[in-house]
Amino acid sequence: MSGFTHAPVLAEMTIEALAVRPGGRYVDGTVGGGGHAEMILKSSEPDGWLGGCDQDGEALKATSTRLASFGNRWDIRRGAFETLMDWIPPGSVDGVLLDLGVSSPQLDHPERGFSFINNGPLDMRMDDRQELTAAELVNTMPEEDLADLIWQMGGEKKSRRIARAIVIERDKCLLESTTQLSGVIEQVVPRRGARIHPATRTFMALRIAVNDEVGALRRGLPIMVDLLRPGGKLVTITFHGVEVRIIKEFGDAAAKCDTPSLRWFQRKSLKAKAEELKSNPRARSAQLRVMEKI
């Protein structure tokens, strides 16, 4: 696999939102290529600390090299963010970052199976120790469930037609590669000058399901708040409407209950400025929100 580089989105806004300062303690629950992690360590010099995790082993290898020069000021372990509580004490950190979704290398390396343009195995696992793959989903899910998934997580209007085509195809021969699947989708949803590739939404829905991204976020948010000391900030960066809904519902409920555990610091999303969009089009759909632990 070639290099693992990922340009962090909304980088300066993130550092500001986390109120990073020397001596502060921070958590990055989605370390990825380490772009935000590196900025947090730089901005908290000389003695700030960063704990973090990612479920992607490839990402962590690259990030460990990237952060080596910061000595013992960081500890990054492989795993899902909901397991951070196993080794980071509750109430002990000043800021937590969740930069959700996939990283550029995950999308760009065809062998990871996220790309509908370059051929690779229908994999899409962020954590390769997990058993469930995209191939397993598309070859075994009942047609109606597949259609619901593509509609609910991908927002794909032609979800029923796509699910039908997948089932017809898999009855002839199992779907094992990404371009095999995108080819099936293109047959029923032709490109005809559309802004995005017809397989985009289906691939996104499958990726979200394979990695249980919705479940992980629902389970993870209260745990991230537990890690914070009072006054600490939880910063989320989202790329998908479903993530936004979960975060808003969580923040609203926690802020409005009889003994609120947090308050909104920035509920209306902050977005990338024109300058960042020029160099990093991926930032187009990024939305940053901030909650503060009470």
Ligand X SMILES: C[S@@+](CC[C@H](N)C(=O)[O-])C[C@H]1O[C@@H](n2cnc3c(N)ncnc32)[C@H](O)[C@@H]1O
In angstroms, give the least distance from the CB of 11 to ligand X.
Answer: 8
Closer CB to ligand X, residue 199 or residue 286? Answer: 286
In angstroms, give the least distance from the CB of 245 to ligand X.
Answer: 17
Closer CB to ligand X, residue 80 or residue 262? Answer: 80
Q: Are 83 and 12 in contact (CB under 8 A)?
A: no
Q: Are 224 and 100 in contact (CB under 8 A)?
A: no
In angstroms, give the least distance from the CB of 104 to ligand X.
Answer: 8
- Written as one letter, the residue type at 22 is P
Extract the tokens encoding 40: 């947090």
3-state secondary structure of 26: strand
Q: What contacts 193, CB < 8 A, 6 or more positions away?
A: none
Closer CB to ligand X, residue 165 or residue 247? Answer: 247
Instruction: List contacts with ligand X (CB under 6 A).
Output: 6, 8, 29-30, 32-36, 53-56, 59, 80-81, 99, 101-103, 126, 216
Closer CB to ligand X, residue 34 or residue 110? Answer: 34
DSSP H or E run through 27: strand 25-28
In angstroms, give the least distance from the CB of 137 to ligand X.
Answer: 17
Extract the tokens encoding 257: 């209950």
In angstroms, give the least distance from the CB of 6 to ligand X.
Answer: 4
Q: Are 183 and 164 in contact (CB under 8 A)?
A: no
Closer CB to ligand X, residue 110 or residue 198? Answer: 110
Closer CB to ligand X, residue 35 or residue 154? Answer: 35
In angstroms, give the least distance from the CB of 63 to ligand X.
Answer: 7
Residue 124, Ramachandran bin (φ over 0: left; ψ between -120 and 50: alpha; else beta): left
Encode 130-157: b = buried (16+ Cβ within 10 Å), e = exposed. eeebbbebbbebeeeebbbbbbebbebe
